[in-house]
Chains A and B, each alone.
Chain A
Amino acid sequence: MTAMITASFDFWGKWRQQVLSAAGLITLFVMVMILIRPDTMPYLTAEPFSGSSWFKDGINLAIGGFVDWAKPTLRAISHVVEEAVRGLQFGLHHLPWLSFLAIVTWLGWRLSGPGLALLVAASIFYMAASGLWIKSMNTLAMVGVAIPLALSFGFAMGVFAAKSKLAGRVIEPSLDLMQTIPTFAYLVPLIVLFGFGPVPGVIASMIYAAPPITRNVMLGLQQVPSELKDVAAISGSSRWQTFAMIELPSAKKQILVGVNQSILASLSMVIIAAVIGGFDDIGREVLVATNKGSARFGEALSAGIIIVLMAVVIDRLSRAASDISRMKKSLSSRRQALIITGIAIIIGFLFPMQGFIDAAASVFRVTEAVINDGLAQFIKSYGIFLDLIKNNALIYVLLPMRIGLEQAVLPFTWGVTFTNEAQIIYLIGIIGTSCLMLFRGQKAMGLFLLAVGLIMFRGFTALPWWAVTGCVCLAAWNTSGLRLAAMCFAMMLFITLFGHWADALYSLYLCSAAVFICMVIGCPLGILAAKSDRASNILRPINDTLQSIPLYIFLIPAVALFQISEFSALVAIVLYAIVPMIRYTEHGLRSVPTQLVEATTAQGCTPLQRLFYIELPVARPSILLGLNQTVLFALAMLIIAVLVGARGLAEQVNIGLRSGDTGLGITAGLSMAFIAIMADRILRSWASNLGRSQ
């Protein structure tokens, strides 16, 4: 019996391998034909169902109906939320800055110590002195409403998902969607439902910031030891008693991790939501200044610093507050808190220090002007180099990737002509080399070379939809199984059906370019960090900073140096997405077992041999996970990068947002989310396969 089962598994496994390789070969063959001579089979390369808009129309119609039906309720909710934001805003506007500074500084002192207090005081002083106090307070008012909403929503979902299997089955996959659908995509329907103003931003931030806390609540509740649940049961405690006295306190630590993440996500989202406008906040200030290009770099910088400071301060404060013992201590001194607050408010009103603030603000304005001038000077003297970088990247990397060597190689760009003979030699070279590699057993490398070579020949934009769909499904099948393959097929079909194929290709292209650059720069940096503690110590704080600041900020330096262009978008994406590549490479290399390293050294390997033959292969699963994160980060940044010149799906989402075309926004947004989900699933199962086989 067992033998039969094993035999049938063997048969299935072999059959699967054969089908996979057969399908792979056919797909490859047709793709090669098409890429070489696209005009011979136009019906295969044309975009299918282009111009199909029934889904968009359908969504617009459905939302229209829903809005009419739900408007009174939703507007009432909107009204309540808006009142809350306005109320908080009113309070913050009328609280003298000195009082605010004193109260929060005292809080920082109580929660952590003089270090945090100093950081808080300096940050708040910066907000006041920069002349952006009102805008900062507007942002804080939104954040102040958004955070509790996001936390309670996420917490409720987490408890629900952990307690009810059915709810879990619904909630778990929706968490993926909530985090991967670009925010702009649901901002459109939110605006339609809740009207303009701060409310859609708050609601969007609630959706975006809920998943971390939900996931951590679920995780925490699942990790409660079963023996403790038995103890509760045998003591005869009711479900509620078990939950309140045993499960929740046991999960507390895990939940607090989620609280911190959610708070940061919420802040990040509130700032992104500034795109809608209508609530003169600090995010808006950055956006406007950034869009003016290098001429207002100083202004963008001083506003951007406020966002970074806010993120850092809120992060540190919430982390300190989650330290339980300290919290108890500071709660016990509630009366002291009241007294301090009272004194602070009185002092604040007695000494408004308006003159001082005005003077400081004028210093800021002068500094900004100096920075602007400096930048202008810098661009004037080094602009040639900047342009050189930009143009070279464009001509030798971006353009060939997009439209292929075939069209990109022209006498006035490359200085040579890509003659027919040269094309044939190129193709024979690529196909020959990869075939040679395939026959020598280096299957993955051979296929990779072939794919890259062909894509570079014709460009991303020429990829036919069915071939990419086939490749993605095959990859999914091979790494995970039929289920993932079916899911990928459905998602690819969705993207094509709703006429987003061309845009998806463009997004894929920009993302691939960014990921490629991240790999080329990030991997060596990671290796360096793994080999040298000094490099690691320098890189770590930089990575921390790059990861904790809201995505927005990356646009400022990119635009300042390279204006609004595709290249700026690329720079911003690379800056943000390179961090996981560095981190995971370092982590993977550092966790190679010492025994293994010593064994290879004893066998007489040079450090370089050891790196290539032992360490990198062993670290491969970890590096793959880093690649996975980098892809996801790049996709997330893509949607922000649209503000400075990216195109593709992200642009469609943005157009949907601006023109109020809900269907366009949602389908383009979902397409981006699907790409992210597919990349994530395939790369992750690949990494876990590798990890298992080692």
Chain B
Amino acid sequence: MSSLRATSKIHPVTLSCDGLWKVFGSQVEKLRQNADLMAMSAHERGQALRDDGYIVGAEDISFSVHAGELFVIMGLSGSGKSTVLRCIAQLQQPTFGHVMLDGVCLDTMPEAELREIRRRKMGMVFQNFGLVPHFTALQNIAFPLKVRGESRANIMAKAEEMLKLVGLEGRGNAFPSELSGGQQQRVGIARSLAVDPEIWLLDEPFSALDPLIRRQLQDELIELQSRLKKSIVFVTHDFSEAVRLADRIAIMRDGRMVQLGRPADLLLRPADDYVTSFVRDVSRLQVLRLEDVMTPASKAPNDFKNAVSLDGKTTLEKCLIDLAPGQKHIIVTGYQGKIIGHFTRDHLLQIANNEGEK
């Protein structure tokens, strides 16, 4: 976790959830006035609510998303991941707890102010695309700008730009029904980015697509993110997708957050059997990076001869080539080529062996 704290010094927090709860049932609004309930610990409160027949969709969820970070919430259906996202977007009112965007609390905000925030700072992509069927692709993208009341020329220019960004030039006049699933979601992505949001919310954006298209759009998302550096909350039920995309992952089960960490943290130190069951199907060599598994050191040991230097962000899969016969050692470098650790072939083989045994 120390590396995280380090990042937070560099990048400010964009969004944070603080003890977020979403409870479903009758007269949920009155729960907040229940002093006994509020005095309980999170665990007791959850138990008490369930005993009273309430359904707890999200239980005491806290995390922060830093500027430029791609934060993934992963969980199976019914785990409460979409509930958390909808609470962040204020499409659902959290029962307890707060959502802060740029240090401003969203859940206590008056309707008009919230609308203003949504018009300027939020973008959201939906699982089933959420395209308006009677609008063309271009009109769909222009919708958030139109709602904001911008001039027509501005709207059209911006919408065209967005269309180009997602690679759909020339299809602007097509209606959603005339586009393929992948194209439709590109329009959805373009629309959500049209207002240049500060926080970008993606609710299982690729789940409704074919595996090939999904893969392609994931690559495009990674590419887009490397340019745009948005703060992202990405919800998925697909662990391999989460691992591929995430800077950090929160795993949810039955409304609770089971583990939060970088993909490597989850792979190397799964919190419980539940997380392990997901980790099992993921190739470590593809996910783990040198910096995750190296022996930290500030300079190379003496017996390192002819060692190659590789960046700490390199995945183990990619170092396989560099550790060809005759090459036993790797020096791991970090920021500005500074040595941050080292790594050996034996070590790699050991990890690869473990992978084979699973």
Which residues of chain A have a CB within 8 Å of any CB of chain B?
Answer: 225, 227-228, 230-238, 241, 245-246, 249-250, 252
Q: Are A238 and B115 CB-contacts (below 8 A) given A233-B91, A245-B143?
A: yes
Query: Does A241 contact B147, Cβ atoms closer than 8 Å?
Result: yes
- Contact flags B106-135 to A (C-beta < 8 A → 1, else 0): 000000001111111011101010101110
A234 to B122, CA, bound (A): 7
Asked whether any CB of chain A lies closer than 8 Å to the CB of B144, the reply is yes
27 contacts between A and B (CB under 8 A): A227-B128, A227-B130, A228-B130, A228-B132, A230-B124, A230-B130, A231-B124, A231-B126, A231-B130, A231-B143, A234-B91, A234-B123, A235-B147, A235-B191, A236-B114, A236-B118, A236-B122, A236-B147, A237-B143, A237-B144, A245-B132, A245-B143, A245-B146, A246-B132, A249-B132, A250-B134, A252-B134
- In the complex, which residue of chain A has the Cβ closest to the Cβ of B115? A236
Which residues of chain B have a CB within 8 Å of any CB of chain A?
Answer: 89, 91, 114-120, 122-124, 126, 128, 130, 132-134, 143-144, 146-148, 191, 195, 201
Q: Are A250 and B89 CB-contacts (below 8 A) given A235-B118, A236-B148?
A: no
Q: Are A234 and B147 CB-contacts (below 8 A) given A227-B126, A228-B130, A250-B134?
A: no
Most buried by A among B91, B134, B191: B134
- In the complex, which residue of chain A has the Cβ closest to the Cβ of B128? A227
B123: chain A residues at CB < 8 Å are 234
Most buried by A among B89, B114, B132: B132
A249 to B114, CA, bound (A): 25
A232 to B135, CA, bound (A): 13
B134: chain A residues at CB < 8 Å are 249-250, 252
| Shortest Cβ gap from B224 to chain A (Å) | 19
Known: A230-B89, A249-B134. 15 other contacts (CB 8 A): A227-B126, A227-B130, A228-B132, A234-B122, A235-B144, A235-B147, A235-B195, A236-B115, A236-B122, A237-B147, A238-B115, A241-B147, A245-B146, A245-B147, A250-B132
Most buried by B among A235, A237, A250, A252: A235
B132: chain A residues at CB < 8 Å are 228, 231, 245-246, 249-250
Query: Does A236 contact B119, Cβ atoms closer than 8 Å?
Result: yes
A237 to B134, CA, bound (A): 17
A241: chain B residues at CB < 8 Å are 147
A665 to B269, CA, bound (A): 83
| Shortest Cβ gap from A385 to chain B (Å) | 60
- In the complex, which residue of chain B has the Cβ closest to the Cβ of A242? B147
Q: Which 3 A-B pairs have the closest CB atoms?
A: A236-B119, A236-B118, A235-B144
| Shortest Cβ gap from A593 to chain B (Å) | 31
Query: Does A235 contact B143, Cβ atoms closer than 8 Å?
Result: yes
A233: chain B residues at CB < 8 Å are 89, 91, 118
| Shortest Cβ gap from B142 to chain A (Å) | 10
A234 to B117, CA, bound (A): 9
A383 to B163, CA, bound (A): 79
- In the complex, which residue of chain A has the Cβ closest to the Cβ of B124? A234
B91: chain A residues at CB < 8 Å are 230, 233-234
B124: chain A residues at CB < 8 Å are 230-231, 234
A232 to B132, CA, bound (A): 10
Query: Does B126 contact A236, Cβ atoms closer than 8 Å?
Result: no
| Shortest Cβ gap from B189 to chain A (Å) | 13
B89: chain A residues at CB < 8 Å are 230, 233-234
- In the complex, which residue of chain B has the Cβ closest to the Cβ of A249? B134
A232 to B128, CA, bound (A): 15
A227: chain B residues at CB < 8 Å are 126, 128, 130
A172 to B123, CA, bound (A): 38
| Shortest Cβ gap from A437 to chain B (Å) | 48
| Shortest Cβ gap from A252 to chain B (Å) | 7
Query: Does B116 contact A236, Cβ atoms closer than 8 Å?
Result: yes
| Shortest Cβ gap from B228 to chain A (Å) | 18
B195: chain A residues at CB < 8 Å are 235
A241 to B149, CA, bound (A): 11
| Shortest Cβ gap from B237 to chain A (Å) | 18
- In the complex, which residue of chain A has the Cβ closest to the Cβ of B149? A241
A236 to B191, CA, bound (A): 13
B201: chain A residues at CB < 8 Å are 234
A250: chain B residues at CB < 8 Å are 132-134
A234 to B91, CA, bound (A): 8
Most buried by A among B119, B130, B195: B130
A189 to B134, CA, bound (A): 45
Query: Does A235 contact B119, Cβ atoms closer than 8 Å?
Result: yes
- In the complex, which residue of chain B has the Cβ closest to the Cβ of A238? B115
Query: Does A234 contact B118, Cβ atoms closer than 8 Å?
Result: yes
B122: chain A residues at CB < 8 Å are 234, 236
A234 to B203, CA, bound (A): 13
Query: Does B144 contact A236, Cβ atoms closer than 8 Å?
Result: yes
A237: chain B residues at CB < 8 Å are 115, 143-144, 147
- In the complex, which residue of chain A has the Cβ closest to the Cβ of B117? A236
B128: chain A residues at CB < 8 Å are 227
| Shortest Cβ gap from A542 to chain B (Å) | 37
A663 to B119, CA, bound (A): 58
| Shortest Cβ gap from B128 to chain A (Å) | 6
A234 to B120, CA, bound (A): 10
| Shortest Cβ gap from B45 to chain A (Å) | 22
- In the complex, which residue of chain A has the Cβ closest to the Cβ of B118? A236
| Shortest Cβ gap from A236 to chain B (Å) | 3
- In the complex, which residue of chain A has the Cβ closest to the Cβ of B121? A236
A246 to B91, CA, bound (A): 17
B144: chain A residues at CB < 8 Å are 235-237
A237 to B124, CA, bound (A): 14
Query: Does A230 contact B147, Cβ atoms closer than 8 Å?
Result: no
| Shortest Cβ gap from A472 to chain B (Å) | 35
A249: chain B residues at CB < 8 Å are 132, 134
Most buried by B among A228, A233, A236, A249: A236
| Shortest Cβ gap from A224 to chain B (Å) | 10
A252 to B114, CA, bound (A): 29
Most buried by A among B116, B126, B195: B126
A230 to B118, CA, bound (A): 12
| Shortest Cβ gap from B232 to chain A (Å) | 15
A312 to B195, CA, bound (A): 51
- In the complex, which residue of chain B has the Cβ closest to the Cβ of A252? B134
A237 to B195, CA, bound (A): 13
Most buried by A among B114, B120, B147, B191: B147
A77 to B278, CA, bound (A): 72
A686 to B134, CA, bound (A): 40
| Shortest Cβ gap from A632 to chain B (Å) | 35
A245 to B148, CA, bound (A): 13
A233 to B124, CA, bound (A): 10
A230: chain B residues at CB < 8 Å are 89, 91, 124, 126, 130
| Shortest Cβ gap from B55 to chain A (Å) | 17
Most buried by A among B120, B144, B195: B144
| Shortest Cβ gap from B135 to chain A (Å) | 8
- In the complex, which residue of chain A has the Cβ closest to the Cβ of B145? A235
A237 to B114, CA, bound (A): 11
- In the complex, which residue of chain A has the Cβ closest to the Cβ of B91? A230
| Shortest Cβ gap from A188 to chain B (Å) | 45
A57 to B124, CA, bound (A): 64
Most buried by B among A225, A231, A232, A241: A231
| Shortest Cβ gap from A233 to chain B (Å) | 6
A230 to B129, CA, bound (A): 11
A252 to B135, CA, bound (A): 13
